[in-house]
Amino acid sequence: MLAYTDRIKEIARALLTDCRVELVIGFRKGTVPMMNEPCFINSPDEADQLVWDSNCGINLANYLANRTEKIGIVAKGCDSRNIATHIIENKIGRDQLFIIGVPCQGMIDRRKVNAMFDGEVREVVESDGLVTVRGADFEKSFEKSELLQQNCSVCTHRNPVIFDEMAADPVDEQQGVDRYADVREIEAMDPQQRWDAFEKLLAPCIRCYACRNACPLCYCPTCFVDEARPQWVGKSQNPVDVRTFHFLRAYHCAGRCTDCGACERACPVGINMRVFTKKLEKDCFESFGWEAGLSPDVRPPLDTYRPEDPDDFIK
């Protein structure tokens, strides 16, 4: 990780020294355990701020939409797929970007780690795949693989799909992972069980929309939930409106979601709303063999027509 950080700093410094970009978007060290803060730097002497470790789960593609500068951006696998999606959707031009690719080995699930201990987690350090968690009166080490965000543990695109320079050699992609075990569990439920499961899942939602705002796909100038004329969705804590938000948001991400996990990570109350987007991701994969953002040159299935597209849903 340290080597990654050094290399990212070097590349960023060189980009800014040679004026090849106006700013570099990356991470700086956070103020609480397991958190780094997205930041931009625009002079070579700021390059030393940049860090890389297993706490860079925020999807940096989220900071690109509609920017007009030439930008250097640090991108792990999922970020790069969302950058590709942005390029397809004309939210940023490929020629505006210098992508510093980071082969990723997964991000630590902060909520999971915090939940493992009764006392407050005060420090988390990693070295050589081992993560040590410390509190005022405890210390425990884990294999990093035990602490990964769920989406990272089933990720099959850890290496950036597009980049201009890599910060390290590619890592091996995970083989034989079952990406959709959780979705199948929900598919197997009868409608009432599924309804109850969704009710329970969404009960704590405070409608802050952090899940939406953390997502690079949600860049609409006015989201349907914020629209006032006509007002599609009520604004109170009425469960009908909360549900409407979640279901519609998921559909708006169909065929575009890369399962980067930014939404789940951002939620202050720990809702795994990824079950919705993942179901659509699975459908896209099964119906169209589609995985979002693997190339900036291929249009996604929901805005293209192919004669061989499955049509057995037409009865």
Partner 1 sequence: MEMIKIDKKDWNKGLDRSRKTYRLVGPVKRAGEDLAGFYELADKEHPDMGAADTVLSAKSVVYPQTEVMFRYTTDKNSPDCNRLKRPAADYSPRAVIGIRPYDAAAILMLKKNFDTPDYRDPYWCDAYEACTFVGLAVDAPSSTDFSTSTGSGPFSEKGLDVLLVDMAGHYLAKVLTDKGAAYMKAAGWQRAADAKAAAQQIEKKKKAAEALIVSSVSFDKIARKSILDLYKADFWDDVAFSCINCGTCTYVCPTCWCFDIQDESKGKTGVRYKNWDSCMYPLFSLHGSGHNPRGTKTMRARQRFMHKLKYFLDKYDDGIMCVGCGRCVRSCPVNIDIRRVCELMNRYGPDPDACAV
| Binding track over 77-116 against partner 1, x by CB under 8 A | ----------------------------------x---x-
The one of ligand SF4, partner 1, none whose footprint includes residue 44, by CB under 5 to 8 A per kind, is none
The one of partner 1, ligand SF4, none whose footprint includes residue 63, by CB under 5 to 8 A per kind, is partner 1
Using CA atoms, how far apart are residues 75 and 89, in angstroms rounded to an integer?
A: 18
- Candidate segments 139-147, 188-196, 269-277, 289-297, binder of partner 1 by CB under 8 A: 269-277
Contacting residues for 115 by C-beta, under 8 A, at least 6 apart: none
- Site size with partner 1, rule: CB under 8 A: 40
The one of ligand SF4, partner 1, none whose footprint includes residue 273, by CB under 5 to 8 A per kind, is ligand SF4
Using CA atoms, how far apart are residues 246 and 138, in angstroms rounded to an integer?
A: 38
Q: Which is nearer to ligand SF4, 70 or 207 (CB)?
A: 207
236 binds partner 1 (CB under 8 A): yes
**Side chain identity at residue 146, one-letter code:** E
- CA 13 from centroid of its chain's CA atoms: 26
- Footprint (CB under 8 A) of partner 1, residues 157-176: none
Radius of gyration of the chain (CA): 20
For partner 1, which residue of 5, 54, 62, 105 counts as binding (CB under 8 A)? 62
Q: Which is nearer to ligand SF4, 84 or 271 (CB)?
A: 271
Q: Which residues bind ligand SF4 (CB under 6 A)?
A: 205-211, 266-269, 271, 273
User: Other CB atoms closer than 10 Å to residue 144's CB: what's the count?
Assistant: 18
User: In the Cβ-directed half-sphere of 41, how many Cα atoms lie within 13 Å?
Assistant: 24
Contacting residues for 132 by C-beta, under 8 A, at least 6 apart: 124, 125, 126, 139, 140, 141, 142
- Footprint (CB under 8 A) of partner 1, residues 237-256: 237-238
The one of partner 1, ligand SF4, none whose footprint includes residue 136, by CB under 5 to 8 A per kind, is partner 1
198 binds partner 1 (CB under 8 A): no
Q: Which is nearer to ligand SF4, 205 or 257 (CB)?
A: 205
Nearest distance in Å: CB 269, ligand SF4: 5
Q: Where are the beta strands (DSSP E) in 42-157?
A: 71-75, 97-101, 121-127, 130-135, 139-143
For partner 1, which residue of 10, 22, 164, 226 counts as binding (CB under 8 A)? 226
Using CA atoms, how far apart are residues 269 and 59, in angstroms rounded to an integer?
A: 19
Long-range CB pairs of 124-133 (<8 Å, 24+ gap) are 124/33, 124/34, 124/55, 126/1, 126/53, 126/54, 129/105, 131/54
- Pairing of the two strands 36-41 and 23-29: antiparallel
For partner 1, which residue of 7, 10, 22, 38 counts as binding (CB under 8 A)? 38
Q: Which is nearer to partner 1, 51 or 284 (CB)?
A: 51
In the complex, the residues that contact partner 1 under the rule CB under 8 A are: 30-32, 35-40, 58, 62-63, 111, 115, 119-120, 122, 136, 200, 203-204, 206, 208-210, 213-214, 226, 234-238, 265-271
